[in-house]
Structure 1
Amino acid sequence: MDETGENFSDATGSALSQESRPAVVEAREHVSLNGVHVMAAATVRAHLAGGEEEWSRFAMHWEDLSQDRYASERGTCRLRRYGRFSLTPATGDLSQLPHCPFVQPDRSNPLYVDVVRHFDPLTNAFAADPLLRSVVSLLGHVAGALDSAPDWIVKVHPFRVVAAADGEGQPTPEGRHRDGVTLVSSLLVGRSNAIGGRSTVVTADGAELLSTTLEEPATLLLSDDRSTLHGVSPIRPLDPARPAHRDVLVTTLTPA
Structure 2
Amino acid sequence: MQKVLGSTELEYAFLFTLRKVNSINPEGFKPFFDNLPVDPYIQGKYRYRRLSRFIVSGDDVIKLPHGYLFQSKDYNPLVGDIKREFSELDDALIEQDIFKHMILAFSDSCKLHPEAEIGVHQIRTTCSPDNFGNPAPEGIHRDGTDFIGIFSVDRNNIQGGETHLYTAKKEKPVFSKILNPGELLLINDHEFFHFTTPVKPTAEGVGTRDVFVLTSPSLLSD
Larger mean Cα displacement after TM superposition, 110-119 or 229-238 = 110-119
In the alignment, structure 1 residue 175 sits paired with structure 2 residue 139: yes
Q: Deviations over 1:148-187 (max 9, x none)?
A: 6333111001111011234310000001111111110111
Greater share of strand = 2
Q: Secondary structure at the match of 1:70?
A: coil
1:44-98 CA deviation, whole Å, 9 max, x = no partner? 12x33xxx5xx42322111121111111xx335101101000124xx23421000
Which residue in the other structure is 2:125 paired with? 161
Amino acid at match of 1:66: P
Distance 1:255 1:187 in 2: 16
Q: Alpha-carbon deviations, 1:83-121, whole Å to 9, x = none?
A: 000124xx2342100012211256222212211111111
Q: How many residues end up aligned between the 2 structures?
A: 212
Q: Secondary structure at the match of 1:37?
A: strand
Root-mean-square deviation (Å)? 2.3
Question: Looking at CA atoms only, which structure, 1 or 2, has the larger radius of gyration?
Answer: 1
CA distance in 1, matches of 2:72, 2:144: 5
Distance 1:107 1:158 in 2: 23
TM-score by length of 1: 0.76
List structure 1 runs of 4+ shifted beyond 6 angstroms.
none
- In the alignment, what sits opposite 2:7? none
The separation in 1 between residues aligned to 2:74 and 2:100, in whole angstroms, is 30
Whether 1:35 and 2:6 are equivalent positions in the alignment is no
Runs of 5+ consecutive residues of structure 2 not aligned to the other structure: 5-10
Map of 2:8 onto structure 1: none
Residue of structure 2 in register with 1:83 after alignment: 52
1:190-209: CA deviation from partner (whole Å, max 9, x where unpaired): 11110001110111464422
Local SS of the residue matching 1:190: strand
Among candidates 201, 206, 219, match of residue 243 of structure 1: 206
What is the TM-score of this pair, normalised by structure 2?
0.86
The gaps in structure 1 that reach 5 residues or longer are 1-26
Q: What is the distance in 1 between the residues matched to 2:55 and 2:90?
A: 17
Alpha carbons 2:53, 2:218 under 8 Å: kept: no
Q: Residue 217 of structure 2 aligns with which residue?
A: 254
Q: Answer yes or no: is the 8 Å Cα contact 2:146–2:217 preserved in 1.
A: yes
Q: Secondary structure at the match of 1:111?
A: coil
Q: Is the 8 A contact 2:164 2:195 kept in 1?
A: yes
